[in-house]
Amino acid sequence: MTKRIIYGPILSRRLGRSLGIDVIKTSDTKKNCNFDCVYCQLGHVPKKITGTESVKGTVTPEEVVEGLRSYHKNIEDLDYITFSGTCEPTLNPALGEMIRGIKEISPHPICVITNSSLVDKETVRESLSEADLVVATLVSGYQKTFMAINRPAEGIELQNIINGLKEIRRMDKRPILGIEVMLVDANIDFPVNHTEREIERLKEILIEIDPDEIEILTVSRPPAEDYIVPVSEDRLKQIAAEFEKMFGKERVKLVIKGIKKSRSKMKHGNVEEEVYDLVMRRPCTFRQISASLGINEKELKPIVDRMLSSKKITETAGETKYYKIV
Ligand code: SF4
């Protein structure tokens, strides 16, 4: 099945009903990223993109605007249009132009979810400045932990990322900056990032960056590495309380479970393609597919069964079954 640029809407724990945009199209890899995070829900991909010059199949601003124009006709209740998906959006140099193009045809706020890898580049920060909200990942204030958890492509240094994030806050025209702190635990000897030492360091760095929001979350979908497990709810709450004390309640969000909305007024085209597009970007349970796409479970069941038997999608082992592409 071919991948479409626009997908969803996805029901996001953070953004509500969010229509996704993927800005790199390839058919031979599950993700186009310069990181290979141990917690990645898209699985492990050994071939990382080394930089913007090695990206193949970048989407153009015209494709995004046209794709959205036709998709847009079907959606009435969106909270965000979000650049995310199977790629790191800042790897596409035309990101800023795309955002400007969307703003001409859509009233919805625009979010870019980024792994922060390229924020040290001025051109990338300029692109991000066009968005309403930038959600940038930061897993640690220590280079060693950052390397172990994010497994970046060669040449990406934590200190450059921190400097770039600080620069975003200093820009005259700037988006709301949210820092996403993804905390992981492990069932092997691994440099996890929820220890006291790690949290203290993160607080120091976050004071320097001074973001508008800090989101604390943990793994909620099957991660790339089996040894990665979620941080306990108690520990997450403890950490959130520490952050709140330092940064204020209104700036800290603890993202645990639950989704904001469950109805969609989306009119459907090819439901099989919509399901495929959704689970390609984000493995989902049956109920999550139903809620995201606004299809009742009775109608959805034969479609998912058909896709399973034709091996377009597969289901994960374990108590909670997630559907993902083969
Ligand atoms: S979690 Fe995001 S940044 Fe990390 S490897 Fe997956 S797609 Fe890339």
Cα end-to-end distance, the chain, whole Å: 11
- Angle among Cα 93, 71, 1 to the nearest 5 degrees reads 80
- Classify the phi-psi angles of 248: left when phi > 0, otherwise alpha if psi is within -120 to 50, otherwise beta: left
Q: Is the CB of 115 under 6 A from ligand 1?
A: yes
What is the tens place of the pLDDT at every residue in 100-140?
999 999 999 999 999 999 999 999 999 999 999 999 999 99
Q: How far is CA 146 from the centre of its chain?
A: 17
Q: Is the CB of 139 under 6 A from ligand 1?
A: no
Distance from residue 73's CA to the centre of ligand 1 (Å): 30
Q: How many DSSP H helices and E strands does the chain contain?
A: 10, 12
Mutate to test the pocket of ligand 1, among 22, 31, 49, 137 (most ligand atoms within 8 A of CB): 31
What is the tens place of the pLDDT at every residue in 25-46?
765 567 889 999 999 998 887 7
Distance from residue 267's CA to the centre of ligand 1 (Å): 30
Residue identifier of the C-alpha nearest atom 1 of ligand 1: 40
Q: In the CATH hierarchy, which fold is given to the domain comprising 271-325?
A: Arc Repressor Mutant, subunit A (1.10.10)
- Given a contact cutoff of 8 angstroms between Cβ atoms, the answer to whether 161 and 120 are in contact is yes
Specify which residues 229 forms β-bridges with. 185
Atom of ligand 1 nearest to the CA of 115: 3
Q: What is the CATH number of domain 6-254?
A: 3.20.20.70
Q: Is the CB of 33 under 6 A from ligand 1?
A: yes
- Classify the phi-psi angles of 8: left when phi > 0, otherwise alpha if psi is within -120 to 50, otherwise beta: left
* Segments of the chain assigned to CATH 3.20.20.70: 6-254
How far apart are alpha carbons 199 and 263 in whole angstroms? 37
pLDDT at 260: 44
* Segments of the chain assigned to CATH 1.10.10.10: 271-325
